[in-house]
Each structure stands twice: as structure tokens, then as C-alpha cells.
Amino acid sequence: MTFVFFLLAAACEITGYFLVWQALRLNQPWLWLPALLALAAFAWLLTLTGTASAGRAFAAYGASMSLPRCCSCWVWSALAPIFGIFWAL
């Protein structure tokens, strides 16, 4: 069940940040409400994962989100991801 929470949290996070970016980029203030709701859902879903292995789970979550973030930028912005930057970290 924890895996489902992480997948849903990832979807909410990407959606929320994308909507913030669109609100700023397109000067559409009405996008702020769905963006904040998506980010609130993201934070709430992360609280449902439990605390027993929270450190490892959040580290794995952060690592697993790098590729989807790059791909979403590629799809939505037509910006090619720079995968070489991960080797510098």
C-alpha cells in the first residue's frame, strides 16, 4: 500500500509544480488554487506512508522522482533532459 501512496504523491507533486509553473508563465491566477490543492494532497499522501522507515522511504522517493521530473519537463516544455547532470551529483 505504501507504494501506491508514493505513486499518488508523485503524481500530485508533478501536477502541483506544473500548475504553479503554468500560473506564473501564462499569468493565469486561477491556476493557483488547483496547484495548491495538488501540493496539499502531495504532503498529505506522504504522511500516510508511516514513520518506521521514513528516512529511507523519502530518500528512495526523492531518487525515484528525478527521472519523471526530467521526462515531464521534456514532454510539457519540449526541453531535452540533461541526464549528465546526475553524474555530477
The pLDDT tens digits for 14-73 are 899 889 888 988 899 999 999 999 999 988 988 887 766 666 666 776 666 666 766 766
**What percent of the residues of the chain are helix, what percent strand, and what percent coil, each to the nearest 5?**
80, 0, 20
CB 10 within 8 A of CB 45: no
521514513: which residue's cell? Answer: 54
Q: How does DSSP classify residue 84?
A: T
Residue 59 CA to residue 80 CA, distance in Å, equals 25
C-alpha–C-alpha distance, residues 57 and 9, integer Å:
13
pLDDT in tens, 17-28: 889 888 988 899
Name the DSSP class of 83.
T
